[in-house]
Amino acid sequence: MSRFDPNVLLQAFSTLTLDLHRLAQDQDIDNFHGHALERISELLPFDAAWWGRAAVINGLPEEHSTHLYNLPSTYLADWQSIRHVDVAVARTQKMPSQAVIVDMRDPANGAPLNWLGERHDIGELLCIAHVDPQTRLSDHLSLYRKPGAPGFDEQDCHLLNNLMLHLVASVSANQIRTLVAMRETLTSPRNLALAVCDRRGVLQCSKRGFVDLLLSEWPQWTGPCLPVKLDERGHEGRLVHIEASAVGDQILLAARINRALPKLSPRENDVAQSFGEGKTYKEVARDLGLSPNTVRHHIRAIYSKLGVKDKARIAHLLHAPSLTKWALSGKHWISS
């Protein structure tokens, strides 16, 4: 195929993006990057690659996840030793979401980068970085060609510019899909907004709604680090409840509106939550370690405090979208 035929190239690009999203659904976290890079190389040839996510701190990228393709594990440490003078970092930061070409053997690009290229048998690199405007997390991809190989060109840059957002989306979809099986092991799996972070609390990706929930509790939050330190106990905030489950080196986060009703005592909230999930008196008593008579006593108190007359109204309150505003207003339930 001629890469210079616009119609053929457009078709090949379209097929590539579809394949990437399919791989995001079919492959697990450990295997997705490798399969995706092999597929990308069919349209945009390269010899090695580095694909990762980083937080830009004090002008320099701090790596939080890395996938090396046809490169030794020592490459990252070698690069970190010269990152402060890496011209590719400066150029991608100056032109976010725009691919740049750097000759790692050109003396004009500095002895440290020349050393890195010689040490790892790299001639040119083609790199791009996309920064999420909310989390400030940077997704970056560097493609490398050996000395003597054809150089990268303007068409390669154009391809990578248009491909990058698809890569960002596919990585996030892959991480969420792989970890979403944990959803059913969490408390109250319905109405959860999911996200993934690393063990340092740096947000890796999130499903729609997760960031909105964070902003409801922490309006000034900008990322990429979570606004609160989490452990296995999660976080119980004023408006948001977050559950955390470790999966390998990453943590699955499940956030929801805090369903606790301020008018109720902690034990009454436990009882209300259980009835809101459709449980019977006996089931609530068994799960909470109470006698059925004690449960009935709590229910009468809940009815009185909330101004409701049956369990269906309790369930409605617990799952109503406007719960938070209602609960904080101190109003009683009004039947519609």
In percent, the amount of the chain with pLDDT more than 70 equals 83
CATH label of the domain that carries residue 134 = 3.30.450.80
The per-residue pLDDT for range 183-202, each reduced to its tens digit, is 555 544 455 778 888 888 88
Same domain membership, residue 111 and residue 194: no
For 303, the 3-state DSSP assignment is: helix
Task: Encode pLDDT of 103-145 as tens digits.
Answer: 999 999 999 999 999 999 999 999 999 988 877 788 999 999 9
Residue 321 has pLDDT above 60, yes or no: no
Return the pLDDT at 1.
43
Helix H segments across the chain?
A: 6-26, 29-41, 74-80, 87-94, 111-119, 154-179, 210-217, 266-276, 281-288, 292-306, 311-319, 323-329
Of the two residues 230 and 81, the one the predictor is more confident about is 81
pLDDT at 333 over 50: no
User: Are 13 and 49 within one domain?
Assistant: yes
DSSP state of 188: S
Q: Which of 171, 199, 232 is the last residue of a domain?
A: 171
Q: Are residues 162 and 15 in the same domain?
A: yes
113 and 50 within one domain: yes
Tokens describing residue 273: 């939550």
292 HSE (CA, 13 A, CB side): 5
Better pLDDT: 232 or 165:
165
User: DSSP alpha helices (H): ranges in 180-232?
Assistant: 210-217
228: in domain: yes
The boundaries of the domain holding residue 239 are 186-257
Predicted pLDDT of residue 22: 94
- The candidate with the shortest Cα–Cα distance to 133, out of 106, 109, 159, 168, is 168
Per-residue pLDDT, averaged over 293-311, amounts to 82
pLDDT tens per residue, range 58-76:
666 677 678 999 999 999 9
Query: Using CA atoms, how far apart are residues 328 and 259, in angstroms rounded to an integer?
Result: 11
- What is the overall mean pLDDT for the chain? 82
pTM of the model: 0.63
| Overall domain count for the chain | 3
What's the mean pLDDT in 20-43? 92
Average pLDDT of the residues in 157-185: 82
**166 belongs to a structural domain:** yes
Query: In 3-state terms, what secondary structure has residue 208?
Result: coil
What is the pLDDT at residue 252?
A: 83
Q: Angle 188-192-193 (CA atoms, 0-180°, nearest 5)? A: 160
Same domain, 14 and 156: yes
Q: Rounded distance, CA 219 to CA 134, Å?
A: 12
- Is the torsion defined by CA of 82, 139, 155, 146 positive or negative? positive
**Nearest Cα to 92, choosing from 216, 333, 83, 108?**
83
Give the list of residues 6+ apart from residue 325 with CB closer than 8 angstroms, or none: none
Q: What is the CATH number of the domain that holds 272?
A: 1.10.10.10
Separation CA 294–CA 270 (nearest Å): 13
